[in-house]
Structure 1
């Protein structure tokens, strides 16, 4: 494919069917969230298994998946509508988020049939949750340098090593882990494989990591002779790098990459002075950025729906989305200069939380440097 063609993100047309999905789902969401505590900030790390099960029972998870795996075989842009509404409402989605976003699609594409039937329908029901084992201590953002190893034994593999910054590892039922199965190969991208690891397996230790906002969503996961059966190998041995780059496409392409700061954006608009030209200019620019990011993200959903390869486009949009999200707390300080503290009014609390939390936006899902390296390589610049 021509390089220029590979990064063209064509607009996705909104249809009456999509708007009907939005109307129906918004009504469902209003009722489902009514009994839950108020969300202090719109960020998708809120964890509530009961809410995830409600979504699954109502058929709102895995809606693009085949019906035999619990899906509804709906277009990607209808799923996009569901994601937008969840994020706009600040719904507590993190229990099912990773499993539904990338692990289900990964298993349906590469997993054996027994593994698909065992796991994927339960993800669609909102009752089974995943974490992703990628980053490792001392490896930084260089995923190809991972050292966690799996050695072949009768009927399975034994894994030793460690993963770090693993979201929801202390709460997940399974991990999708990328490990090295063939050491000493010439290419660092070769000899890697993916496994589904039961988080209750003997020898697996999860150590929560407390972040700047006082939460322990991240964890270090240590593998000490952890046995994984042959049936839990995802795809073929040695195909891990190709598989994980496909998986990261699902992780980087959605509206969660530019809507984490949307509640603070709403607060800024509420507090803006209509007669202050500086407010109009700065907030107008931010709203325009948000609109463009939405158009690009919807375009990528359409690419996935049409079977096109969106990997280069997702790197560009994810990087642009992180820049936008990190700029919103800075914009709040520029326009209003409020003191950061957790006990202020809703605007102050939201601004304080997002100022502390936004640092991770350029790290999660691939660091800014890695994404720009992928973009440069895709454009033939390196």
Structure 2
């Protein structure tokens, strides 16, 4: 049991710490005019030009082989770039999913043709990906998906709907998880599923916006109606979708975005309480800092396991669950310590923005209930 939940220390990486200063200097110039409220967007900030500039510096696809447009740098160097971007509130959404999970998914399961076609453009910050997992009436229970790809001459015909598809309206390609086996072929809820590459400009794809409480348009409903996909769109093996998507989710659930989404508010809170905080404020902020330091250690360990080819799905679920708790706690503690009317306009704006977004932190990437079910199974409790 202990081996299931081990978080080994990542090895020292002097190159990563040397890179940190370079990244901070870059961001100090790039984000000089970016307001705290815009920085609070965290990894929801979409700026295609910024992503292309990162690609030009070699900061997307950092660990990928050079033959696919990557740079063969270490996982810890990549981690430094990620956490510095997130802590500074950089607009990374355009390339975020491609770099975090779609690229690694193709490296592990894609064909050589898929890799050569897509990965160099992803690493250059020129080709953007979204995730087609969730569905109406399925949510985080991916085993309940109903979207189906049916074999026809030369490929597949797809019918179904994907929900909460972040930035589908701004992306080029979606990796879609769906059913390919007939309902009577297997009693295994996880069997008979596959993954496909979907060009979002194809006829048969309709993208409809789902506006957030803030009025922002990040989420979408993607309707697939008699969509034809060629044989070359299949990722990995037919019927192997469940193990592939679980591997992909380990990348999605374990990164620093899982505990830095409300970091901009913590920065503003510390600015408001100043260098001589009350005892109550000092205890609260110290506690949050300790939580973030612990989560950072766990997250960096998962990055090391992923780089070593392990499948740390359980560890990633723990990082995601604990991280969402801290992200939501930052908002509540800030509100209690410094009410919006006492912190000034900038603080109040950041607090209001993250108060509206905080409920989603324990939904995206898997609900708290789903994650704790995964952890319980790992402990042999269910």
Q: TM-score range by the shorter chain?
A: over 0.9
Return closer, same or farther for 1:83/1:301 CA change in 2, 3 Å cut-off: same
The equivalent residue for 2:361 is 361
Return closer, same or farther for 1:54/1:351 CA change in 2, 3 Å cut-off: same
Deviations 1:18-76 (A, max 9, x none): 11111122223333335x64352332101100000011111110010001011111110
The equivalent residue for 2:203 is 202
Quick one: distance in 2 between partners of 1:353 and 1:229? 43
Shift of 1:305: 2.2
Question: Contact 1:158 / 1:225 at 8 angstroms: preserved in 2?
Answer: yes
Aligned residues: 377
Quick one: distance in 1 between partners of 2:248 and 2:48? 24
SS in 2 for 1:44: helix
Question: Contact 1:304 / 1:310 at 8 angstroms: preserved in 2?
Answer: yes
The equivalent residue for 1:223 is 224
The equivalent residue for 1:140 is 139
Unmatched tracts of structure 2, length 5 or more: none
Quick one: distance in 2 between partners of 1:350 and 1:275? 20
Deviations 1:74-116 (A, max 9, x none): 1101100000111111111000100111000101110111111
Question: Contact 2:55 / 2:125 at 8 angstroms: preserved in 1?
Answer: yes
Quick one: distance in 2 between partners of 1:21 and 1:216? 34
Question: Contact 1:315 / 1:371 at 8 angstroms: preserved in 2?
Answer: yes
Shift of 1:378: 0.8
What is the root-mean-square deviation in Å for CA atoms of aligned residues?
Answer: 1.5
Shift of 1:348: 0.5
Return closer, same or farther for 1:340/1:369 CA change in 2, 3 Å cut-off: farther
The equivalent residue for 2:15 is 17
Unmatched tracts of structure 1, length 5 or more: none
The equivalent residue for 1:173 is 172
The equivalent residue for 1:346 is 346
Equivalences for residues 287-302 of structure 1 within 5 A: 287-302=289-304
Deviations 1:120-141 (A, max 9, x none): 1100000000110011011232
SS in 2 for 1:60: coil
Quick one: distance in 2 between partners of 1:112 and 1:14? 34
Question: Contact 1:340 / 1:349 at 8 angstroms: preserved in 2?
Answer: no
Quick one: distance in 2 between partners of 1:176 and 1:316? 25
Equivalences for residues 273-292 of structure 1 within 5 A: 274-292=276-294
Quick one: distance in 2 between partners of 1:287 and 1:24? 24
Question: Contact 2:138 / 2:144 at 8 angstroms: preserved in 1?
Answer: yes
Question: Contact 1:319 / 1:362 at 8 angstroms: preserved in 2?
Answer: yes
SS in 1 for 2:168: coil
Shift of 1:340: 11
SS in 2 for 1:345: helix
Shift of 1:144: 0.3
Shift of 1:283: 1.2
The equivalent residue for 2:262 is 261
Question: Contact 1:96 / 1:130 at 8 angstroms: preserved in 2?
Answer: yes
The equivalent residue for 2:35 is 38
Work out whether 1:328 is the aligned partner of 2:326: no
Question: Contact 1:209 / 1:217 at 8 angstroms: preserved in 2?
Answer: yes
SS in 2 for 1:206: strand
Quick one: distance in 2 between partners of 1:111 and 1:309? 18
Higher share of residues assigned helix:
2
Quick one: distance in 1 between partners of 2:11 and 2:232? 42
